[in-house]
């Protein structure tokens, strides 16, 4: 059935994302993906014979997940802004960014791995672009919320800032930033 196919495909792509986060790019092999997904050997080869295609589709899948998470976030925030005002929303924005560093640790690490891979392989450059766009969305939302659209720093740079903090935390190189610290940085992006 079509759902069966889609289930297996997504199970494999989820497994690849998990492998990227846990074992790195070199940890992604057809056999490892089979095992991680709990499917018999050969499954990944069947659905994605070429490894480039496997990575490409995993990246697309990851981008979709990121965008879905972002949509959820925006819906949740509409309420906060409406009921508690903008100032509270800004703190919650910082909070949201930090939460995504915890919950989305896997997604973050997988995305960084793929971004690095895309920066090297010509064949994956479009994938890098796709991920970059997906990663920009929540940041764009938060930064616009905080600065009211008058941010003085390009949105890509804002993504870099936030990603850098998240990556630092995700790789265990430093303490988890506090809400106050992040919102300080967020506010600094506005013209004063």
Looking at beta carbons only, is 68 or 120 nearer to DNA?
120
Helix, strand counts (H, E) of the chain? 8, 0
Candidate residues 10, 41, 84, 178; the one interacting with DNA per rule CB under 7 A: 41
Residues 6+ apart with CB under 8 A from 41: 31, 34
Instruction: Choose from DNA, a copy of itself, none: what does 88 bind? Cβ within 5-8 Å by kind.
Output: none
Describe the chain by its helix, strand, coil percentages, rounded to 5: 85, 0, 15
Render 14-25 in DSSP notation, one character per residue.
HHHHHHHHHH-G
What distances in angstroms separate CA 142 from CA 18, 29, 77, 177, 186, one per listed residue? 27, 36, 10, 17, 9
| Part of the chain binding a copy of itself (CB under 8 A), chosen from 9-17, 50-58, 86-94, 151-159 | 151-159
32 binds DNA (CB under 7 A): yes
What distances in angstroms separate CA 28 from CA 2, 22, 24, 115, 130, one per listed residue? 26, 10, 7, 15, 20
CB of 152 to a copy of itself, least distance (A): 6
CB of 114 to DNA, least distance (A): 14
Looking at beta carbons only, is 84 or 152 nearer to a copy of itself?
152
CA–CA distance, 128 with 57 (Å, rounded to integer): 12
Contacts of DNA in 146-175 (CB under 7 A): none
CB of 101 to a copy of itself, least distance (A): 10
Candidate residues 10, 22, 24, 42; the one interacting with DNA per rule CB under 7 A: 42
Q: Which residues bind a copy of itself (CB under 8 A)?
A: 22-26, 109, 112-113, 115-120, 128, 132, 152-157, 159-175, 177, 181, 184-185, 187-189
């Amino acid at each position: 059935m079509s759902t069966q196919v889609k289930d297996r495909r997504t199970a494999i792509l989820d497994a690849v994302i998990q492998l990227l986060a846990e074992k790195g790019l070199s940890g992604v092999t057809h056999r490892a993906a089979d095992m991680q997904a709990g499917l018999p050997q050969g499954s990944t080869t069947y659905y994605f014979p070429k490894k480039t295609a496997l990575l490409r589709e995993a990246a697309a899948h990851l981008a979709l997940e990121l965008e879905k998470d972002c949509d959820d976030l925006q819906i949740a925030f509409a309420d906060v802004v409406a009921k508690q005002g903008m100032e509270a929303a800004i703190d919650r924005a910082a909070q949201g960014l930090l939460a995504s560093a915890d919950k989305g640790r896997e997604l973050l690490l997988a995305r960084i791995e793929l971004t690095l891979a895309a920066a090297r392989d010509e064949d994956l450059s479009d994938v890098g672009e796709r991920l970059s766009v997906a990663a920009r969305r929540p940041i764009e939302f938060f930064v616009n919320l905080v600065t009211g659209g008058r941010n003085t720093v390009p949105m890509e740079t804002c993504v870099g800032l936030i990603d850098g903090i998240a990556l630092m935390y995700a790789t265990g190189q430093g303490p988890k930033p506090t809400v106050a610290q992040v919102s300080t940085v967020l506010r600094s992006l506005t013209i004063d």
